[in-house]
Amino acid sequence: MPLFTSAGVGSGLDLEAIISSTVAAANQPKQAQFAKLEARYETELSALGAVKSALSKLDDVLAKLSDPEQFQKRVATLTQPDTGDIIRFSSGTDATAGNFDISVDQLAQGSRAVSTAGAFTSSSQVITTANSNLSFSAGGKSFSVAVAANATLEDIRQAINNASDNFGVSANIINTGSEAKLVYTSNVSGSGNDLAVTNDNAELDALSTVANAGGAGGMTIAAADQAQDAIITIDGITATNDSNVFADVIQGSTITAVKESVAGETANVTIARDREGITKLVDEFVSAYNGVVDIMDKATSEGNILQFDSTMRGLQRQMVDALSSTVGTSAFQSMFDVGLSLNKDGKLEKSNLVRSFDEALDKDYNAVADIFSSSGGIATKFSSLLDNYIESNGAITFREEDLNQRLDQIDEDRLDHEYRMEQLEARLREKYSGLDVMLAQMKSTQSYLLQQLSNLPGFGGGKE
């Protein structure tokens, strides 16, 4: 804290202006230096950050391009008949390329059991007089339902539907006006998987497919309601399954039957490599690479902060070298063999004088895949190059950390300088306060002497 808050009061001199001017003369050049360095470091950080962001985006695309599975993906083109969809189709990376005509001859279904005529008068009819059990099974699955004494038909329906281990049996009551019909529907499909219902109390025979004493129960399954397989035909070859989902009937693919064919109609499926997906991925690579070129050109252009930066010049040269490198031993050995080229601005294009990228795919799809995704491919080489700049120990990351440390040092230096300025002001105030006091005393002495002299004869202060 300064010793005096208002210098010059005693002397009448403008000592505050003298102190302020002296402190400002020492402070302003240093503050200007701090501001200049801070602006420079922040501008450099911003430029490096923009380059690093563009490189990271390119690296993300390269990670996909270096994955061989990207080039093994299959895409299926499905054409349904005019009467509507009869199948759904999906394929994986191990699907076999080909063209297939598929018809649905029969859909899989579960069984359906209906109570005999006159078995139940209404849903409120009491069925049992003692605690009992109903057991349900189909296709190796089973569950049981406890039936309480004096349970009604509706009570039993709810108990079946609410059973926690119910594997897929629904119970419904249809009131015809003259009676109540109980209907069981099982979702377990496949030939031989009809629903079987047994009991431990003959009072429940009307609700069972098998009577307590053996033989037929009151619930019957008509021929049309029996569980059955799904049947499809692929290029004249019949395939059967216990559900409507056929996995790997065409290797690596799944066919789901949704409707039976009408009059022998078929759906057509073509399985091929996902050229559109690969083309889109290469478009992303070209766009990301050109984005890096744009950012670096701007950052290193005349008058910009990275104009003479050796790191940027080295990176630009290495990127071109990586694109121009030779890889693989297949029909294509460089990026330019697969139809890519660099224009006069250093940007990538998807064509050159020899061929376009699409033509390269037509000529040798596998060779194109090798150029990008093999262990020594362009994508892997490029990604390794970028890691040298953008990873935690990379050149750009190192530069960013150094610049941030310099900015932190400026903050510390500024605090130290402000402290020195406070000390300078304190010393000046102490110095000028002594002068102020001395001058004030001299003025007081002068006033006293003048007063005494004015009282002496001959000095105009008294009579002779």
Checking if the pLDDT of 463 tops 60, the result is: no
For range 347-371, the mean pLDDT: 90
Mean of pLDDT over the chain: 90
Q: What is the pLDDT of residues 312-353, one digit of tens each?
A: 999 999 999 988 888 866 788 888 899 999 999 999 998 888
Task: Kindly state the tokens that stand for 362.
Answer: 């037509």
Q: What is the pLDDT of residues 154-165, one digit of tens each?
A: 999 999 999 999
pLDDT at residue 464, rounded to an integer: 47
pLDDT at residue 335, rounded to an integer: 87
For range 378-402, the mean pLDDT: 91
Q: How confident is the model at residue 433 (pLDDT cuts 50, 70, 90)?
A: confident
Annotate 276-328 with DSSP letters as a single string.
HHHHHHHHHHHHHHHHHHHHHHHHHSTTSTTTT-HHHHHHHHHHHHHHH----
Backbone torsion region of residue 246, taken as left when φ is above 0, otherwise alpha when ψ lies between -120 and 50, otherwise beta: beta
pLDDT at residue 137, rounded to an integer: 98
Percent of the chain scored above 70 by pLDDT? 92
> What does R_g of the chain's alpha carbons equal in angstroms?
46
Angle at 368 between CA 364 and CA 370, to 5 degrees: 115
Q: How confident is the model at residue 437 (pLDDT cuts 50, 70, 90)?
A: low
pLDDT at residue 431, rounded to an integer: 79
- pTM (2 decimals)? 0.65
- The whole-angstrom separation of Cα 301 and Cα 357 is 32
For range 367-382, the mean pLDDT: 89
Q: What is the pLDDT of residues 257-301, one digit of tens each?
A: 999 999 989 999 999 988 999 999 999 999 999 999 999 999 899
- The whole-angstrom separation of Cα 349 and Cα 290 is 9
For range 437-444, the mean pLDDT: 68
Percent of the chain scored above 90 by pLDDT? 70
Nearest CA among 413, 294, 356 for reference residue 37:
413
pLDDT at residue 41, rounded to an integer: 93
pLDDT at residue 454, rounded to an integer: 77
Q: What is the pLDDT of residues 51-72, one digit of tens each?
A: 999 999 999 999 999 999 899 8
Checking if the pLDDT of 1 tops 50, the result is: no
pLDDT at residue 72, rounded to an integer: 87
- The whole-angstrom separation of Cα 409 and Cα 29 is 18
- The whole-angstrom separation of Cα 242 and Cα 229 is 5
pLDDT at residue 11, rounded to an integer: 52
User: What domains does the chain contain, in order, with CATH numbers?
Assistant: 1-73+274-439 (1.20.1330), 74-108+229-273 (no CATH), 112-225 (no CATH)
